Amino acid sequence: MTSWDLDLDGATPVTPDALTRLTAALEADLQETNRAIVARMESPVALIPQLAAHLVAAGGKRLRPLLTLASARLCGYRGDRHVQLAACVEFIHTATLLHDDVVDESILRRGHASANAVFGNKASVLVGDFLFARAFQLMVADGSLEVLRILSSAAATIAEGEVLQLTTQNDVATTEQRYFDVIRGKTAALFAAACEVGGVIADRPAAECAALARFGMDLGMAFQLVDDALDYSADVSELGKTVGDDFREGKLTYPVLIAIADGDAAETEFWNRSIGEGEQSDSDLATALALIDRHDAINRTVKRAQGFTETAIEALSIFPPSDLRDTMQDVASYTTARRF
């Protein structure tokens, strides 16, 4: 239990098992998607399925493909295109993870050794490229230019967000606006696209597709804000990654932006040295955690996430009430209470 879990006054109702319920509601679709993922990772080049299997074995919640499946079903879709497109979405996400881990030099991913730690950076870059290309092959086989437009645009936006994040690394003058641009690109854009394509294949009106995109976008923003909070608060055994990664990498995430903005002269000096200049000693992470705690930055980050959660929930009000709609909205609430 992390401290901020106990201090969510004014929070939207917390339904800790919403993601489990959504997964259960879409179990058959999800199993089809998992089969499609395994089948489409195949290649005569043995290292590709080997490395890909390492990622599949590492698990993950399949949150993004679930959003595609849920959105399609919410729109009354009855075919099987959503399964292939959910696999596409997961491939784009996995390719991004592989390249992220190379860029971040991460050694853990979801509690397991990251692919680059096991197979090397080179294989991670190239298998990421393969999965990305394979995702486009799957979309082409689906045959919808509108789906291709949405997902190729998301892919470009993801890369822009990642490059922007690189640009802001170690830059203690990073603005809140710039931070939001980064997470919109690197995370929220794919959540939005994952949801939107569900509406598109169901041939729903533009307003409903836009509502799904809004739901995904704001859910993604909340998700990344909480992720950035967890990096300064989660136990490695719970989150499957090490605490303080963002600090060590000099990433200007929301909790740090708050602590910098509200810090006194001595604190400013600390951040300038440890993040700005990247000169860190062993005790610096503890100091950073103490300063973040002093300015209540974890709770304030989660509160900011709750704002996005609320607009995400509101976006789905265009759809008639249903168990599925309620569960999707609960997943949004759960995002700000999660430790996954």
**By CB under 8 A, is residue 145 in contact with a copy of itself?**
yes
User: Residue 155 and residue 93: Cα distance in Å, rounded?
Assistant: 9
102 binds a copy of itself (CB under 8 A): yes
Select from 62-70, 76-84, 96-104, 304-312 the region that touches a copy of itself (CB under 8 A).
Answer: 96-104
Specify the stretch interacting with a copy of itself by CB under 8 A; choose among 4-12, 125-133, 302-310, 314-322: 125-133
Question: Is-contact 252 172, C-beta < 8 A?
Answer: yes
Q: How many CA atoms lie within 13 A of 233 on its CB side?
A: 26
Kindly tell me which of 74 and 150 has the beta carbon lying closer to a copy of itself: 150
Among 2, 43, 268, 311, binds a copy of itself (CB under 8 A): 43
- Rounded to the nearest whole angstrom, what is the least distance from the CB of residue 120 to a copy of itself in the complex? 8
Q: Which residue has the tokens 């503890």?
A: 286
Residue 20 touches a copy of itself, criterion: CB under 8 A: no
Among 14, 38, 117, 126, binds a copy of itself (CB under 8 A): 126
Query: How many CB atoms neighbour CB 297 within 10 A?
Result: 26
Would you say 190 or 337 has its CB closer to a copy of itself?
Answer: 190
**Residue located via tokens 């050794």:** 113
Rounded to whole angstroms, the Cα distance separating 36 from 72 reads 17
Exposed e or buried b for every residue in 22-49, given b needs 16+ CB within 10 A? bbebbeebbebbbebbeebbeeeeeebb
What percent of the residues of the chain are helix, what percent strand, and what percent coil, each to the nearest 5? 75, 0, 25
**Does 275 interact with a copy of itself (rule: CB under 8 A)?**
no
45 touches a copy of itself (CB under 8 A): yes
- Of 25-33, 152-160, 212-220, 240-248, which part binds a copy of itself (CB under 8 A)? 152-160
Examine residue 117 and tell whether it contacts a copy of itself (CB under 8 A): no
Choice from 80, 129, 235, 277 touching a copy of itself (CB under 8 A): 129
Nearer to a copy of itself, 139 or 260 (CB): 139
Token pair of 72 as six digits: 């399609």
Q: Which two tokens stand for residue 295?
A: 């300015």
Q: State which residue, 56 or 148, has the beta carbon closest to a copy of itself.
A: 148
Report the alpha-carbon distance of residue 18 to residue 61 in Å, rounded: 12
Residue 58 sits in the site that holds a copy of itself (CB under 8 A): no
Output the CA angle 273-182-214, nearest 5 degrees.
150
Binding residues vs a copy of itself (CB under 8 A): 43-48, 95-96, 99, 102-103, 121-123, 125-127, 129-130, 132-134, 136-137, 139-140, 143, 145, 148-149, 152-153, 155-156, 158-160, 162-164, 166-167
